[in-house]
Structure 1
Amino acid sequence: MKALRYYANKDVRFETSVPEPILSSPTDVLILPQWCGICGSDLHEFLDGPIFCPIHPHPLTHESVPITLGHEFCGIVDQVGTEVTHLVKGDKVCVEATVRCNDSCSACKSGKTNCCATGGFIGLSGWGGGLSEKVVVPSAQAFKLPDDMPIEYGALIEPLAVAWHAVKLAAFAPGMTALVLGSGPIGIATVIALKAFGAAKIYVSELAKIRRDQASEFDVDQVFNPAVDDVVKLVKQATAGDGVDVAFDCSGVQATFDTSLFAIKSGGTALNIAIWGKTCTYNPNDVLLQEKKVFGAVGYVGQDFKDVIQAYTDGKLKNVGKMITAKLPIEETVSVGYDMLINHKDQHIKILCTPRPELLQ
Structure 2
Amino acid sequence: MKALRYYGNRDVRLDDNVSEPAISEPTDVLLAPQWCGICGSDLHEYFDGPTVCPTHPHPLTSETLPVVLGHEFSAIVLAVGASVPNVKVGDRVCVEAMQRCSKCVNCLSGHTNLCVLGPAAYGLTGLGGGLAEKVVVPFNQVYKLPDNLPIEYGALVEPIAVAWHAVELSGIKPGMTALVLGAGPIGIAVIICLQAMGAKTVIVSEPATARRKQAENFDVDYALNPMEVDVISKVKEIVNGEGVDRTYDCSGVQATFQASIDALAASGVAMNIATWTKPALYNPTHALNRERVLMASCAYISRDFNAVLKAIEDGRLKGLDKMVTAKIPMKNTVSVGFDGLINHKDKHIKILCSPIT
TM-score, normalising length from structure 1? 0.98
**Partner AA of 2:59 in structure 1:** P
> Which residue matches 1:348?
348
1:12-23 mapped onto 2 (5 Å cutoff): 12-23=12-23
State the distance in 2 between where 1:26 and 1:94 align. Answer: 20
1:163-174 mapped onto 2 (5 Å cutoff): 163-174=163-174
> Which residue matches 2:325?
325
Secondary structure (helix, strand or coil) at the match of 2:35 reads strand
State the distance in 1 between where 2:220 and 2:113 align. Answer: 29
> Which residue matches 1:32?
32
> Which residue matches 2:204?
204
> Which residue matches 1:287?
287
> Which residue matches 1:235?
235
State the distance in 2 between where 1:197 and 1:259 align. Answer: 23
Q: Deviations over 1:194-214 (max 9, x none)?
A: 010001000000011000011
| Structure 1 residue 261 displacement after superposition | 0.3
> Which residue matches 1:109?
108
State the distance in 1 between where 2:108 and 2:226 align. Answer: 42
> Which residue matches 2:10?
10
> Which residue matches 2:334?
334
State the distance in 2 between where 1:262 and 1:90 align. Answer: 51
Secondary structure (helix, strand or coil) at the match of 1:155 reads helix
Identity among equivalent positions (%) equals 58
**Partner AA of 1:236 in structure 2:** K
Secondary structure (helix, strand or coil) at the match of 1:161 reads helix
Q: Deviations over 1:205-225 (max 9, x none)?
A: 001100001100000000011
State the distance in 2 between where 1:59 and 1:250 align. Answer: 30
State the distance in 2 between where 1:342 and 1:147 align. Answer: 34
State the distance in 2 between where 1:309 and 1:109 align. Answer: 24
Secondary structure (helix, strand or coil) at the match of 1:236 reads helix
| Structure 1 residue 148 displacement after superposition | 2.3
State the distance in 1 between where 2:86 and 2:108 align. Answer: 24
> Which residue matches 1:213?
213
Q: Deviations over 1:18-61 (max 9, x none)?
A: 11101101101000000000000000000000011100110011
| Structure 1 residue 138 displacement after superposition | 0.8
1:85 matches 2:85: yes
State the distance in 2 between where 1:152 and 1:204 align. Answer: 27
Structure 1, gaps ≥5 residues long: none
1:145-160 mapped onto 2 (5 Å cutoff): 145-160=145-160
Secondary structure (helix, strand or coil) at the match of 1:180 reads strand
State the distance in 2 between where 1:107 and 1:286 align. Answer: 31
> Which residue matches 2:132?
132
| Structure 1 residue 142 displacement after superposition | 0.3
| Structure 1 residue 342 displacement after superposition | 1.1
State the distance in 1 between where 2:282 and 2:45 align. Answer: 28
> Which residue matches 2:161?
161
State the distance in 2 between where 1:116 and 1:136 align. Answer: 20
| Structure 1 residue 289 displacement after superposition | 1.7
1:315 matches 2:315: yes
Secondary structure (helix, strand or coil) at the match of 1:79 reads strand
> Which residue matches 1:46?
46
State the distance in 1 between where 2:346 and 2:121 align. Answer: 26
Q: Deviations over 1:152-195 (max 9, x none)?
A: 11000001000000010001110001000000000000001001
State the distance in 1 between where 2:329 and 2:153 align. Answer: 17
**Partner AA of 1:289 in structure 2:** N
State the distance in 2 between where 1:42 and 1:55 align. Answer: 16
State the distance in 2 between where 1:327 and 1:202 align. Answer: 29
Secondary structure (helix, strand or coil) at the match of 1:268 reads strand
> Which residue matches 1:144?
144
**Partner AA of 1:115 in structure 2:** L
Secondary structure (helix, strand or coil) at the match of 2:25 reads coil
1:230-269 mapped onto 2 (5 Å cutoff): 230-269=230-269
- Poorly superposed stretches of 4+, deviation over 3 Å: none
> Which residue matches 1:65?
65
State the distance in 1 between where 2:80 and 2:192 align. Answer: 33
> Which residue matches 2:182?
182
Secondary structure (helix, strand or coil) at the match of 2:101 reads coil
State the distance in 1 between where 2:267 and 2:198 align. Answer: 20
| Structure 1 residue 240 displacement after superposition | 2.1
Structure 2, gaps ≥5 residues long: none
**Partner AA of 1:17 in structure 2:** N
